[in-house]
Amino acid sequence: MAAPVDADFRTRLQVWLPKLVLSPSLAMALVFVYGFILFTVYLSFTDSRILPSFGWVGFENYFKLFRLRHWEIAVTNMGVFAVLYMVICTAIGLALAIFFDQKIRGEGILRPIYLYPMALSFIVTGTAWKWMLDPGIGLENTMHALGWESFAFDWIKNRNFAIYTVVLAAVWQTSGFVMAMFLAGLRGIDNEILKAAQIDGASNWNLYRRIIIPQLRPAFLSAFVILAHLAIKTYDLVIALTGGGPGRATELPATFMYSYTFTRNQMGIGAASATIMLMTIAAIMIPYLYSELRERK
Amino acid sequence: MAAMQQESAVRTSNATRVLIYLLLLLFAFFYLLPLFVMGVNSVKPLSEITGGNMMALPEMWTLEPWRKAWSEAQVGVQATGLKPYFWNSIKMVVPAVFISTILGALNGYVLTKWRFRGDTILFGLMLFACFIPFQIVLIPMARMLGIFGLAGTTWGLVLVHVVYGIGFTTLYFRNYYAAFPTELVRAAQIDGAGFFQIFWRIMLPSSGPIIVVSVIWQFTNIWNDFLFGASFADFSSQPMTVALNNLVQSSTGVKEYNVHFAGAILAALPTLLVYVVAGRFFVRGLMAGSVKG
């Protein structure tokens, strides 16, 4: 008697098992990602200070946030940093990939050299560049030791230039990775078209400008999305390299959020700044993920 | 990069080629410079750094900075060196990588071989989690870890890294399994094999390349994490990155640059090692699953 019931239970289990197996991960995503996002967004509308509290204040935190000089600096810095970081990484990555595509000897040795910074922690990168750029012991000191007494390079200590040192270190870390993305795209281009264009007398310059680079659109798009989201999330690098200083010269939204939430006890404002960071990333990522996942069907 | 061997048909003149080689070498110099500087200055006495040339080889070679960084340096309050934090990182990384990879494999298997209505949307929801700025979850996560008694523990960090790593591991396995012949799975089903049997006997044995990708990716990401470690850990669980930062930023006493450099290399060593040993398999594994699916 028990056999049919058992068999029935087993087939039904087999039907439900896949969903059952997926459910813990899904539940984690729902709670720890989407639940937490809602919680933080909610906090951004409350009077939370040192601890979460639930007194509703409407958009007041956002008004305060946008009146803060500190936030304005962080956002301006982010704009400068993001644009330079993305443009320079893309330019270097594309140039190196094109160079590599010219039947280069020793590519097997050079490629890992360009890529290894990606394996390092931003804290390590930040530490290395912090002391290398330090006028007291780094580049400036070295040049003086070599006899170039008038050499001066104090960007990392200079309010007007410190943000560019963050760009330098970030470019150092990721440009090799962008190179790899473009190289993959270049290696996928059909050589027959190029040969046909060459027979028609096209110069190398025109080959790249008219045929090759336009075909790299998907690589440009992936590079843009990855670089943009890395830029907005930049936190560790600034902490290790400059600590947000000198003054507030390298403060970014991520460091702003952390200090307002956890050291200045302005959790409502911190939550509002985190919400704005999320919305910026979502505006880039959601259309991208949507189109990627739809194409796969 | 599947076609890494395929060469471009573009031809260049000898003069251009010389220029290209020069530029490539210049960039190689740029990328190697920090590693070189960290290396040579970690085996110099402090006086040679403060008084001289950062690019010069040591006049007096010494391993003292390494010993100091590992077991003696003042990290935060205690003078323990980086050693305990190195083990904290290991204790956090190993279970987190293991759990997130297993879950990713199971999810990828379900999402490609047991498809159901709405599975793509669910996958999209999980994938988006990889890209959120983690500032948006810091406050509730701190509360949650406190409520469950996980605040400041290694297991708390493991949980955090698993939660925010699953999206990537699922992505990798989903793309890889999408290229795996579904007929094999159906045939095994007809022969009476169950859900786990198929996973265990058919899927896993052919998942080597993508397991390597998932493990390398997760290992690097979790080892290099700073934000979660700085937010949720205490002395007994602080990872290497946080300790290195404390060491370098500590304002007490003389700045021992050579010790900082040795510490930075210690913090970088595991991921560098993984990259050197398994980097090739990473690229190959990624391509085996074809990035675009």
What the block records as the tokens of B232 is: 């949720």
DSSP label of B63: -
CB contact under 8 A, A261 and B138: yes
For chain B, positions 95-154, list CB contacts with chain A under 8 A. 103, 106-107, 110-111, 114, 116, 120, 122-129, 131-141, 143-144
For residue B135, the distance in angstroms to the closest alpha carbon of chain A comes to: 6
For residue B20, the distance in angstroms to the closest alpha carbon of chain A comes to: 6
The pLDDT of residue A6: 67
For residue A23, the distance in angstroms to the closest alpha carbon of chain B comes to: 9
Check if the beta carbon of residue A103 is closer than 8 Å to that of residue B8: yes
Beta-bridge partners for B233: B152
Please check whether residues B23 and B144 belong to one and the same domain.
Answer: no
CA–CA separation, A206 and A193 (whole Å): 13
CB contact under 8 A, B166 and A29: yes
Q: Tell me if A15 is assigned to some domain.
A: no
Beta-bridge partners for A56: A46
For chain B, positions 156-195, list CB contacts with chain A under 8 A. 162-164, 166-167, 170, 178, 194-195
Please check whether residues B33 and B94 belong to one and the same domain.
Answer: no
CA–CA separation, A115 and A98 (whole Å): 16
Please check whether residues B272 and B193 belong to one and the same domain.
Answer: yes
Block residue for tokens 């970081």: A85
Please check whether residues B193 and B237 belong to one and the same domain.
Answer: yes
Facing residue for A132 by CB, picked from B2, B54, B267: B54
pLDDT band, residue B228 (cuts 50/70/90): very high
Parent domain of A224:
68-295
CB contact under 8 A, B27 and A114: yes
Residue B217 has pLDDT above 60, yes or no: yes
DSSP notation for A17-61: HHHHHHHHHHHHIIIIIIIHHHHHHHHTTB--SSS----B-TTHH
User: How many angstroms separate the Cα of A214 from the Cα of each of A201, A211, A223?
Assistant: 19, 6, 15
The pLDDT of residue A8: 76
Q: Is B223 in CB contact (< 8 Å) with chain A?
A: yes
First to last CA, chain A: 45
CB contact under 8 A, A17 and B129: no
What the block records as the tokens of B241 is: 């990155």
What the block records as the tokens of B228 is: 């979660």
Q: Tell me if B9 is assigned to some domain.
A: no
Please check whether residues B222 and B127 belong to one and the same domain.
Answer: yes
CATH number at residue A169: 1.10.3720.10
Residue of B nearest to A174 (CA): B31
pLDDT digits (tens, 9 = 90+) for A99-132: 988 888 888 889 889 989 999 999 999 999 999 9
Q: Tell me if A276 is assigned to some domain.
A: yes
CB contact under 8 A, B226 and A236: yes
Domain count, chain B: 2
B34: chain A residues, CB-CB within 8 Å: 117, 125, 128-129, 132, 172
Q: Is A172 in CB contact (< 8 Å) with chain B?
A: yes
Across residues A25-52, what is the average pLDDT? 91
- The H or E element containing residue B263 is helix B257-288
Residue B251 has pLDDT above 90, yes or no: no
**Number of C-beta neighbours around residue B62 at 10 A:** 15
Torsion of CA A183, A188, A194, A195, to 10 degrees: 120
Q: Tell me if A49 is assigned to some domain.
A: no
B56: chain A residues, CB-CB within 8 Å: 145
Please check whether residues B39 and B152 belong to one and the same domain.
Answer: no
The pLDDT of residue A89: 96
The pLDDT of residue A295: 61
Q: Tell me if A192 is assigned to some domain.
A: yes
Across residues B179-197, what is the average pLDDT? 89
Torsion of CA A256, A259, A264, A267, to 10 degrees: 70
Q: Please give the share of chain B, as a percent, with pLDDT higher than 90.
A: 47
Of B35, B151, B154, give the one whose Cα is nearest residue A115. B35
The pLDDT of residue A79: 94
Report ipTM for this prediction. Answer: 0.89
Domain count, chain A: 1
CB contact under 8 A, A137 and B257: yes
Q: Reduced to 3 DSSP states, what percent helix, strand and coil does chain B have, rounded to the nearest 5?
A: 70, 0, 30
CB contact under 8 A, A120 and B140: no
The pLDDT of residue B219: 94
Q: Tell me if B178 is assigned to some domain.
A: yes
User: How many angstroms separate the Cα of B88 from the Cα of each of B99, B164, B229?
Assistant: 17, 19, 10
What the block records as the tokens of B78 is: 């205690």
Residue B76 has pLDDT above 50, yes or no: yes
CB contact under 8 A, A262 and B27: no
Please check whether residues B23 and B147 belong to one and the same domain.
Answer: no
Q: Which of A57-61, A127-131, A142-146 has the highest mean pLDDT?
A: A127-131
Residue A12 has pLDDT above 90, yes or no: no
User: CA-based angle B272:A134:B38, to the nearest 5?
Assistant: 25
For chain A, positions 236-255, list CB contacts with chain B under 8 A. 236, 239-240, 243, 253-254
Q: Tell me if B141 is assigned to some domain.
A: yes
User: Strand, helix or coil at B152?
Assistant: strand
Please check whether residues B258 and B114 belong to one and the same domain.
Answer: yes
Q: Tell me if A229 is assigned to some domain.
A: yes
Residue B292 has pLDDT above 50, yes or no: no
Backbone φ, ψ for residue B130 (5° rounding) = -70, -25
Residues 6 or more apart whose Cβ sits within 8 Å of residue A143: A151, A153
B293: chain A residues, CB-CB within 8 Å: 296
Residue A51 has pLDDT above 50, yes or no: yes
Check if the beta carbon of residue B45 is closer than 8 Å to that of residue B254: no
Q: Tell me if B40 is assigned to some domain.
A: yes
User: How many angstroms separate the Cα of B141 from the Cα of each of A58, A239, B167?
Assistant: 23, 21, 18
Facing residue for A124 by CB, picked from B2, B56, B267: B267
Q: Is B281 in CB contact (< 8 Å) with chain A?
A: no
Residue B4 has pLDDT above 70, yes or no: no
Across residues A203-219, what is the average pLDDT? 86
Sign of the alpha-carbon torsion through B118, B124, B126, B132: negative
Q: Which long-range contacts (CB under 8 A, 24 or more apart) does A14-20 make?
A: A14/B194, A14/B195, A17/B194, A17/B195, A17/B196, A18/B110, A18/B114, A18/B116, A18/B195, A19/B110, A19/B116
Beta-bridge partners for A46: A56
Check if the beta carbon of residue B133 is closer than 8 Å to that of residue A274: yes
pLDDT band, residue A212 (cuts 50/70/90): confident
Across residues A125-149, what is the average pLDDT? 86
Q: Tell me if A56 is assigned to some domain.
A: no
Please check whether residues B45 and B124 belong to one and the same domain.
Answer: no
Q: Is A40 in CB contact (< 8 Å) with chain B?
A: yes
Please check whether residues B155 and B262 belong to one and the same domain.
Answer: yes
Q: Tell me if B29 is assigned to some domain.
A: yes
Please check whether residues B272 and B160 belong to one and the same domain.
Answer: yes
Backbone φ, ψ for residue B75 (5° rounding) = -110, 105
Parent domain of B22:
14-62
The alpha carbons of chain B give a radius of gyration, in whole angstroms, of 24
Of the candidate ranges A199-203, B95-99, B108-112, the one whose mean pLDDT is the lowest: A199-203
Q: Is the peptide bond before B84 cis (omega within 30 degrees of 0)?
A: no
Q: Tell me if A289 is assigned to some domain.
A: yes
Please check whether residues B176 and B244 belong to one and the same domain.
Answer: yes
User: How many angstroms separate the Cα of B87 from the Cα of each of B93, B114, B244, B264?
Assistant: 10, 40, 13, 16
Beta-bridge partners for B289: none
Check if the beta carbon of residue B99 is closer than 8 Å to that of residue B158: yes
CA–CA separation, B260 and A84 (whole Å): 29
CATH number at residue B153: 1.10.3720.10
Of B54, B2, B73, B56, give the one whose Cα is nearest residue B264. B73
